[in-house]
Protein backbone atom coordinates (compact mmCIF):
# COMPACT_ATOMS: atom_id res chain seq x y z
CA UNK A 1 0.00 0.00 0.00
CA UNK A 2 1.72 3.15 -1.14
CA UNK A 3 1.05 6.76 -0.46
CA UNK A 4 -0.69 9.02 1.94
CA UNK A 5 -4.20 7.88 2.84
CA UNK A 6 -4.90 10.75 5.20
CA UNK A 7 -7.38 12.58 2.94
CA UNK A 8 -10.21 10.38 4.26
CA UNK A 9 -9.12 10.85 7.88
CA UNK A 10 -9.07 14.61 7.33
CA UNK A 11 -12.55 14.40 5.86
CA UNK A 12 -13.82 12.48 8.90
CA UNK A 13 -12.22 15.01 11.22
CA UNK A 14 -13.63 17.88 9.12
CA UNK A 15 -10.23 19.52 9.15
CA UNK A 16 -10.77 21.40 5.94
CA UNK A 17 -14.10 22.88 6.99
CA UNK A 18 -14.13 26.43 8.35
CA UNK A 19 -14.32 26.72 12.14
CA UNK A 20 -17.61 27.85 13.68
CA UNK A 21 -17.81 31.48 14.80
CA UNK A 22 -17.11 30.59 18.45
CA UNK A 23 -15.62 27.09 18.42
CA UNK A 24 -14.98 27.02 22.17
CA UNK A 25 -18.45 28.14 23.32
CA UNK A 26 -19.61 24.57 23.95
CA UNK A 27 -16.83 23.94 26.47
CA UNK A 28 -16.90 27.33 28.21
CA UNK A 29 -19.07 26.43 31.16
CA UNK A 30 -20.17 28.82 33.92
CA UNK A 31 -18.56 26.33 36.33
CA UNK A 32 -15.21 27.84 35.37
CA UNK A 33 -15.86 30.75 37.72
CA UNK A 34 -15.35 28.33 40.61
CA UNK A 35 -12.02 27.15 39.19
CA UNK A 36 -9.69 29.44 41.19
CA UNK A 37 -11.42 28.38 44.41
CA UNK A 38 -11.27 24.70 43.40
CA UNK A 39 -7.52 24.79 42.76
CA UNK A 40 -6.91 26.81 45.91
CA UNK A 41 -8.70 24.11 47.90
CA UNK A 42 -6.87 21.36 45.99
CA UNK A 43 -3.55 23.02 46.79
CA UNK A 44 -4.41 23.29 50.49
CA UNK A 45 -5.35 19.59 50.55
CA UNK A 46 -2.21 18.68 48.63
CA UNK A 47 0.05 20.59 51.02
CA UNK A 48 -1.57 18.77 53.94
CA UNK A 49 -2.03 15.27 52.54
CA UNK A 50 -0.38 14.72 49.16
CA UNK A 51 2.42 17.18 48.34
CA UNK A 52 2.91 17.58 44.59
CA UNK A 53 6.34 17.97 43.00
CA UNK A 54 6.46 19.00 39.36
CA UNK A 55 9.50 18.89 37.07
CA UNK A 56 10.09 19.86 33.45
CA UNK A 57 7.47 22.58 33.25
CA UNK A 58 9.85 24.47 30.96
CA UNK A 59 9.04 21.81 28.34
CA UNK A 60 5.51 23.10 27.93
CA UNK A 61 5.42 25.20 24.74
CA UNK A 62 5.05 28.93 25.37
CA UNK A 63 2.18 29.14 22.93
CA UNK A 64 -0.70 26.77 22.28
CA UNK A 65 -1.95 24.79 20.50
CA UNK A 66 -0.30 21.75 22.05
CA UNK A 67 -1.36 18.46 23.60
CA UNK A 68 -0.47 17.33 27.12
CA UNK A 69 -0.66 13.53 27.20
CA UNK A 70 -0.35 11.63 30.46
CA UNK A 71 -0.62 8.19 31.96
CA UNK A 72 -3.89 7.58 33.80
CA UNK A 73 -4.03 6.09 37.27
CA UNK A 74 -6.68 7.91 39.22
CA UNK A 75 -9.37 10.59 39.28
CA UNK A 76 -6.74 12.80 40.91
CA UNK A 77 -4.52 12.76 37.78
CA UNK A 78 -5.86 15.81 36.01
CA UNK A 79 -5.91 18.23 38.96
CA UNK A 80 -2.50 16.92 40.06
CA UNK A 81 -1.02 17.34 36.58
CA UNK A 82 -2.21 20.92 36.20
CA UNK A 83 -2.07 22.16 39.81
CA UNK A 84 1.38 23.69 39.37
CA UNK A 85 0.76 25.19 35.93
CA UNK A 86 0.31 28.92 35.56
CA UNK A 87 -3.37 29.93 35.70
CA UNK A 88 -3.18 31.24 32.15
CA UNK A 89 -2.28 27.78 30.83
CA UNK A 90 -4.62 25.85 33.12
CA UNK A 91 -7.61 28.00 32.24
CA UNK A 92 -7.14 27.40 28.54
CA UNK A 93 -6.70 23.63 28.77
CA UNK A 94 -9.49 21.43 27.43
CA UNK A 95 -9.58 17.96 28.97
CA UNK A 96 -10.97 14.92 27.19
CA UNK A 97 -13.20 12.96 29.57
CA UNK A 98 -14.81 9.61 28.85
CA UNK A 99 -18.59 9.44 28.75
CA UNK A 100 -18.40 7.02 31.72
CA UNK A 101 -17.44 9.97 33.92
CA UNK A 102 -19.02 12.78 31.97
CA UNK A 103 -22.48 11.22 32.10
CA UNK A 104 -22.34 11.06 35.90
CA UNK A 105 -23.81 14.42 37.06
CA UNK A 106 -21.61 14.72 40.18
CA UNK A 107 -18.42 13.84 38.31
CA UNK A 108 -19.35 16.20 35.48
CA UNK A 109 -19.93 19.05 37.93
CA UNK A 110 -16.41 18.73 39.34
CA UNK A 111 -14.83 18.12 35.96
CA UNK A 112 -16.35 21.30 34.56
CA UNK A 113 -15.00 23.25 37.51
CA UNK A 114 -11.55 21.74 37.02
CA UNK A 115 -11.32 22.12 33.26
CA UNK A 116 -13.04 22.87 29.98
CA UNK A 117 -14.30 19.36 29.26
CA UNK A 118 -14.81 17.52 25.99
CA UNK A 119 -16.94 14.36 26.28
CA UNK A 120 -15.54 11.36 24.46
CA UNK A 121 -16.84 7.92 23.61
CA UNK A 122 -13.75 5.77 23.22
CA UNK A 123 -15.63 2.56 22.59
CA UNK A 124 -18.32 3.01 19.97
CA UNK A 125 -18.11 6.45 18.42
CA UNK A 126 -14.81 8.24 18.68
CA UNK A 127 -15.00 10.55 15.66
CA UNK A 128 -17.28 13.18 17.25
CA UNK A 129 -14.74 13.43 20.11
CA UNK A 130 -11.78 13.61 17.74
CA UNK A 131 -13.58 16.29 15.74
CA UNK A 132 -14.25 18.26 18.92
CA UNK A 133 -10.62 17.99 20.04
CA UNK A 134 -9.43 18.93 16.56
CA UNK A 135 -11.72 21.96 16.60
CA UNK A 136 -10.26 23.14 19.92
CA UNK A 137 -6.69 22.69 18.64
CA UNK A 138 -7.51 24.49 15.40
CA UNK A 139 -8.86 27.35 17.50
CA UNK A 140 -5.37 27.60 18.99
CA UNK A 141 -6.09 26.10 22.40
CA UNK A 142 -4.30 23.30 24.29
CA UNK A 143 -5.83 19.96 25.20
CA UNK A 144 -5.11 17.36 27.88
CA UNK A 145 -5.54 13.71 26.99
CA UNK A 146 -4.96 10.33 28.66
CA UNK A 147 -4.22 8.08 25.67
CA UNK A 148 -4.77 4.87 27.65
CA UNK A 149 -8.48 5.77 27.51
CA UNK A 150 -9.13 4.45 31.00
CA UNK A 151 -7.48 4.28 34.41
CA UNK A 152 -4.91 1.55 34.85
CA UNK A 153 -6.06 -0.85 37.58
CA UNK A 154 -2.54 -2.13 38.23
CA UNK A 155 -0.52 1.06 37.95
CA UNK A 156 1.18 -0.29 34.78
CA UNK A 157 0.98 1.74 31.58
CA UNK A 158 -1.74 0.32 29.29
CA UNK A 159 -1.63 0.31 25.47
CA UNK A 160 -2.40 3.72 23.97
CA UNK A 161 -5.33 4.58 21.73
CA UNK A 162 -4.28 6.08 18.42
CA UNK A 163 -6.47 9.21 18.56
CA UNK A 164 -3.65 11.31 20.01
CA UNK A 165 -1.42 10.36 17.06
CA UNK A 166 -4.13 11.27 14.56
CA UNK A 167 -4.61 14.69 16.14
CA UNK A 168 -0.90 15.46 16.45
CA UNK A 169 0.05 14.37 12.94
CA UNK A 170 -2.95 15.78 11.10
CA UNK A 171 -2.88 19.10 12.94
CA UNK A 172 0.90 19.38 13.26
CA UNK A 173 0.63 19.95 16.99
CA UNK A 174 3.43 19.08 19.46
CA UNK A 175 2.65 16.58 22.21
CA UNK A 176 4.16 16.94 25.67
CA UNK A 177 4.51 13.56 27.40
CA UNK A 178 3.48 13.76 31.06
CA UNK A 179 4.15 11.13 33.70
CA UNK A 180 2.17 11.20 36.94
CA UNK A 181 3.37 9.11 39.86
CA UNK A 182 1.66 8.61 43.23
CA UNK A 183 -2.01 9.18 42.44
CA UNK A 184 -2.56 5.41 42.17
CA UNK A 185 -1.50 5.00 45.81
CA UNK A 186 -3.55 8.02 46.89
CA UNK A 187 -6.85 7.18 45.20
CA UNK A 188 -6.83 4.22 42.76
CA UNK A 189 -9.77 3.26 40.55
CA UNK A 190 -12.66 2.09 42.70
CA UNK A 191 -11.44 3.68 45.96
CA UNK A 192 -13.94 5.87 47.76
CA UNK A 193 -11.53 7.83 49.93
CA UNK A 194 -8.01 9.13 49.42
CA UNK A 195 -4.92 8.15 51.42
CA UNK A 196 -2.04 10.52 52.15
CA UNK A 197 1.01 10.22 49.93
CA UNK A 198 3.31 12.05 47.51
CA UNK A 199 2.64 12.97 43.90
CA UNK A 200 5.26 13.61 41.23
CA UNK A 201 4.48 15.08 37.84
CA UNK A 202 7.14 15.12 35.12
CA UNK A 203 6.69 16.99 31.85
CA UNK A 204 8.93 15.65 29.09
CA UNK A 205 10.24 17.34 25.96
CA UNK A 206 7.52 17.85 23.35
CA UNK A 207 7.36 15.41 20.45
CA UNK A 208 7.44 17.25 17.15
CA UNK A 209 5.10 15.62 14.62
CA UNK A 210 7.02 17.04 11.61
CA UNK A 211 9.02 13.84 10.86
CA UNK A 212 5.79 11.85 10.97
CA UNK A 213 4.07 14.25 8.60
CA UNK A 214 6.95 13.56 6.21
CA UNK A 215 6.61 9.78 6.67
CA UNK A 216 2.91 10.02 5.86
CA UNK A 217 3.73 10.96 2.26
CA UNK A 218 4.73 7.39 1.47
CA UNK A 219 2.98 5.34 4.14
CA UNK A 220 -0.49 4.37 5.28
CA UNK A 221 -1.69 7.20 7.50
CA UNK A 222 -2.84 4.78 10.20
CA UNK A 223 0.63 3.20 10.48
CA UNK A 224 2.17 6.63 10.97
CA UNK A 225 -0.39 7.64 13.60
CA UNK A 226 0.33 4.38 15.42
CA UNK A 227 4.06 4.94 15.25
CA UNK A 228 3.70 8.44 16.68
CA UNK A 229 1.49 7.08 19.46
CA UNK A 230 4.07 4.37 20.23
CA UNK A 231 6.82 6.99 20.48
CA UNK A 232 4.66 8.93 22.93
CA UNK A 233 4.13 5.81 25.03
CA UNK A 234 7.85 5.06 25.02
CA UNK A 235 8.62 8.62 26.11
CA UNK A 236 6.14 8.38 28.99
CA UNK A 237 7.70 5.05 30.02
CA UNK A 238 11.11 6.74 30.00
CA UNK A 239 9.76 9.53 32.20
CA UNK A 240 8.47 6.88 34.60
CA UNK A 241 12.11 5.87 35.17
CA UNK A 242 13.27 9.43 35.84
CA UNK A 243 14.41 10.20 39.39
CA UNK A 244 11.66 12.80 39.93
CA UNK B 1 -15.28 -6.50 -14.56
CA UNK B 2 -17.12 -7.30 -11.33
CA UNK B 3 -14.71 -10.12 -10.56
CA UNK B 4 -11.77 -7.88 -11.33
CA UNK B 5 -13.13 -5.27 -8.96
CA UNK B 6 -13.66 -7.88 -6.25
CA UNK B 7 -10.10 -9.14 -6.66
CA UNK B 8 -8.75 -5.62 -6.59
CA UNK B 9 -10.64 -4.76 -3.39
CA UNK B 10 -9.59 -8.00 -1.73
CA UNK B 11 -5.98 -7.33 -2.60
CA UNK B 12 -6.20 -3.77 -1.28
CA UNK B 13 -7.84 -4.86 1.98
CA UNK B 14 -5.23 -7.60 2.42
CA UNK B 15 -2.41 -5.09 2.02
CA UNK B 16 -3.95 -2.65 4.49
CA UNK B 17 -4.63 -5.22 7.19
CA UNK B 18 -1.47 -7.20 6.38
CA UNK B 19 -3.17 -10.56 6.10
CA UNK B 20 -2.57 -12.84 3.06
CA UNK B 21 -5.40 -12.61 0.54
CA UNK B 22 -6.08 -16.35 0.68
CA UNK B 23 -6.85 -16.09 4.39
CA UNK B 24 -9.59 -13.51 3.90
CA UNK B 25 -12.95 -15.11 3.41
CA UNK B 26 -15.65 -12.97 1.80
CA UNK B 27 -18.01 -13.55 4.71
CA UNK B 28 -15.49 -13.40 7.56
CA UNK B 29 -16.07 -10.54 9.95
CA UNK B 30 -13.02 -8.30 9.65
CA UNK B 31 -13.26 -7.13 13.23
CA UNK B 32 -14.23 -10.23 15.17
CA UNK B 33 -12.74 -12.97 12.96
CA UNK B 34 -9.65 -11.27 11.55
CA UNK B 35 -8.78 -9.04 14.49
CA UNK B 36 -8.94 -5.72 12.63
CA UNK B 37 -9.32 -2.86 15.10
CA UNK B 38 -11.79 -0.09 14.41
CA UNK B 39 -9.17 2.46 13.34
CA UNK B 40 -7.50 0.01 10.98
CA UNK B 41 -11.02 -0.45 9.62
CA UNK B 42 -11.08 3.29 8.90
CA UNK B 43 -7.75 2.89 7.10
CA UNK B 44 -9.40 0.36 4.74
CA UNK B 45 -11.96 3.03 3.88
CA UNK B 46 -9.21 5.63 3.52
CA UNK B 47 -7.43 3.40 1.01
CA UNK B 48 -10.68 2.76 -0.90
CA UNK B 49 -11.45 6.48 -0.87
CA UNK B 50 -8.03 7.18 -2.33
CA UNK B 51 -8.14 4.45 -4.98
CA UNK B 52 -11.69 4.86 -6.24
CA UNK B 53 -12.39 8.51 -5.39
CA UNK B 54 -15.65 7.55 -3.76
CA UNK B 55 -17.22 9.50 -0.94
CA UNK B 56 -17.76 6.94 1.83
CA UNK B 57 -20.19 8.23 4.46
CA UNK B 58 -19.15 7.91 8.12
CA UNK B 59 -22.17 5.71 8.87
CA UNK B 60 -20.73 3.03 6.56
CA UNK B 61 -17.81 2.63 8.97
CA UNK B 62 -20.13 0.84 11.35
CA UNK B 63 -22.18 -1.01 8.73
CA UNK B 64 -19.52 -2.74 6.68
CA UNK B 65 -18.26 -5.73 8.64
CA UNK B 66 -17.11 -8.20 5.99
CA UNK B 67 -15.19 -8.07 2.73
CA UNK B 68 -18.47 -8.86 0.96
CA UNK B 69 -20.07 -5.80 2.61
CA UNK B 70 -17.14 -3.64 1.50
CA UNK B 71 -17.29 -4.89 -2.10
CA UNK B 72 -21.04 -4.27 -2.19
CA UNK B 73 -20.56 -0.78 -0.77
CA UNK B 74 -17.87 0.15 -3.32
CA UNK B 75 -20.05 -1.12 -6.16
CA UNK B 76 -22.96 1.01 -4.97
CA UNK B 77 -20.86 4.12 -4.45
CA UNK B 78 -19.17 3.75 -7.83
CA UNK B 79 -22.54 3.76 -9.64
> B54: domain CATH number?
1.10.1200.10
| B49 lies within 8 A of chain A by CB | yes
| A38 lies within 8 A of chain B by CB | no
Least confident of A12-26, A85-99, A114-128, A135-149: A114-128
Are the CB atoms for A221 and A5 separated by under 8 Å?
Answer: yes
- Encode pLDDT of B35-73 as tens digits: 898 889 999 999 999 999 998 888 888 889 999 999 999
Give me the number of domains chain B comprises.
1
Q: Can you spell out the DSSP letters for B35-47?
A: ---HHHHHHHHHH
Q: What is the pLDDT of residue A2?
A: 53
Q: What is the pLDDT of residue A151?
A: 86
| Cβ contact, residue pair A221, B39, below 8 Å | no
pLDDT over threshold 70, residue A1: no
- Encode pLDDT of B10-33 as tens digits: 999 999 999 999 999 999 999 999
| Cβ contact, residue pair B42, A12, below 8 Å | yes
**Model confidence, pTM:** 0.90
Average pLDDT estimate for A46-58: 95
Are the CB atoms for B43 and A5 separated by under 8 Å?
Answer: yes
- Encode pLDDT of A100-157 as tens digits: 777 888 888 888 898 898 888 866 677 888 999 999 999 999 999 999 988 888 888 9
Q: Which CATH superfamily is domain A6-14+31-240 in?
A: Glycerol-3-phosphate (1)-acyltransferase (3.40.1130.10)
| Cβ contact, residue pair B42, A7, below 8 Å | no
Residues of A within 8 A of B38 (CB-CB) are: 126
Mean pLDDT of chain B: 90
Identify the domain containing residue B6 by its residue range.
2-78
CA distances from A196 to A42, A46, A77, A192, A199 (A): 13, 9, 15, 14, 10
Residues of B within 8 A of A127 (CB-CB) are: 58
Q: What is the pLDDT of residue A203?
A: 97
| A123 lies within 8 A of chain B by CB | no
Amino acid sequence: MNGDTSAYWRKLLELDKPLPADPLAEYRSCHRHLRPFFYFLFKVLSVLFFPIQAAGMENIPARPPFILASNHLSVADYPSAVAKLPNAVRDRLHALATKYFYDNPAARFFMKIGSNVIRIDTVTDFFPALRAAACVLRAGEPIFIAPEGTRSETGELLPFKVGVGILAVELNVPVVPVYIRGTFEIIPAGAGMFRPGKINVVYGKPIDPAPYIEKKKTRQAYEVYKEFTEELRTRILELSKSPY
Amino acid sequence: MTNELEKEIKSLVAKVIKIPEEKIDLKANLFTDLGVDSLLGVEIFAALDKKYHIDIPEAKLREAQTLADIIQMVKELKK
